[in-house]
Amino acid sequence: MVSVTTSIKVDPTVKAESQALFERLGLSWSTAINLFLRQAIREQAIPFRVGEPMYNEETLRTIREAEAGINLRGPYNSVEELVADLESDDGD
């Protein structure tokens, strides 16, 4: 396969950080860009979600707490137990 040289403008920090990442993964910067382009062609789309972050900081904190077993409630043996716990003043 014959390659063509392409010039793109990239923020210097983004380039340096991405090069370091790709090197840790055993890839050159050029190979990583080619992987992205091939995946975009295969999917006929940007191969990752583009948009606002899925979770805000409060949600991320809650996820981390749940994973660590902090502030968990239950288990419950019935819906009535769940409702009683939710309606209790102490929350524990």
Q: Where are the domains of the chain?
A: 12-43, 57-87
Per-residue model confidence (pLDDT) at position 80: 93
* pTM of the shown model: 0.55
- pLDDT for the residue 90: 64
pLDDT in tens, 14-50: 999 999 999 999 999 999 999 999 999 999 999 988 8
Cα–Cα separations (whole angstroms), residue 51 to 46, 48, 55:
12, 10, 11
Residue 35, CB half-sphere, CA atoms under 13 Å: how many? 10
Name every residue whose Cβ is closer than 8 Å to that of residue 72 and which is 6 or more positions away in sequence: 66
Measured distance CA(41)–CA(25) in Å, rounded: 22
Q: 12-24 and 29-43 helices cross at what angle (nearest 10)?
A: 90
Query: Alpha-carbon distance 4 to 35, whole Å?
Result: 15
- Mean pLDDT over residues 48-54, rounded? 81
Q: Is the pLDDT of residue 55 over 90?
A: no
> Residue 74: what pLDDT?
85
